[in-house]
Structure 1
Amino acid sequence: MDKPNIFVEVVYALADKQKLLRLSVPAGTTVREVALRSGLDAHFADLDLATSPLGIFGKAVAKPEERLIEEGERVEIYRPLIADPKEVRKQRAAKAAQAKAAEQGE
């Protein structure tokens, strides 16, 4: 007997372009399979659905190849980070320390 279909959403966004799709998939489909079925890579040239980090409603999914999607969930396809947040904070703190030292030296 066939598995019943469920409805889910898939979303991907750049600064200037976004796409949200509603899909019907068989129950038991994984988060990664939903992303692959979405076909969003046809709309975004640099998008690799096989390796992109994925999440559901703002929470990263550690193992999208294993996590089964549930009715009504929204799969979010995340872009890779441009800069390491820890490194950015370190640079900002160093710059602030330099500015403070310059003020005190005046």
Structure 2
Amino acid sequence: MKIEVVRAWPHRFDAVVLELDETATVAQAVAAAGFQDDPQITGYAVFGLRVSADTRLCEGDRVELLRPLQADPKDARRRRAEDRPLKKK
């Protein structure tokens, strides 16, 4: 089966397309892509849904390697709202 493994940073990403057997897991896909030693990996997702390393994959899955957040999303939204001018009614 064909799957894709993706790891991303701000403004760039690595993507590897692999052919694996039908019983492949997330951990096997990450190892086959050569990303298993990345110390920043904090978890895994398939199409944005968090999964464990022993999750079985399906044809066409995209495995995403998760990293720690660089900023708290609530703080980032608050800063954006503060920077926006108020709309007059």
Q: Same fold (TM over 0.5)?
A: yes
Long gaps (5+) in structure 1: 1-5, 97-106
1:38 partnered with 2:38: no
Could you list the per-position Cα deviations for residues 36-76 of structure 1 after superposition, in whole angstroms to 9, with x for gaps in the alignment?
Answer: 2111368xxxx238x53100011111x222x1011110000
How large is the Cα RMSD of the aligned pairs? 2.5
Give the paired residue count. Answer: 79
1:64 pairs with one of 39, 43, 53: 53
Distance change in 2, residues 1:14/1:73 (3 Å): same
| Distance in 2 separating the partners of 1:64 and 1:77 | 11
Long gaps (5+) in structure 2: 83-89
1:29 partnered with 2:31: no
Q: Secondary structure at the match of 1:26?
A: coil
In terms of Rg, which structure is larger? 1
**Amino-acid identity (%):** 31
**Structure 2 matches for 1:1-106, cutoff 5 A?**
6-40=1-35, 47-48=38-39, 52-61=42-51, 63-65=52-54, 67-85=55-73, 88=75
| Distance in 2 separating the partners of 1:21 and 1:80 | 21
Q: Secondary structure at the match of 1:40?
A: coil
- TM-score, L = length of structure 1: 0.60
Which structure features the higher share of strand residues? Answer: 2
Which structure features the higher share of helix residues? Answer: 1
- TM-score, L = length of structure 2: 0.70
Greater shift after overlay, 27-36 or 67-76? Answer: 27-36
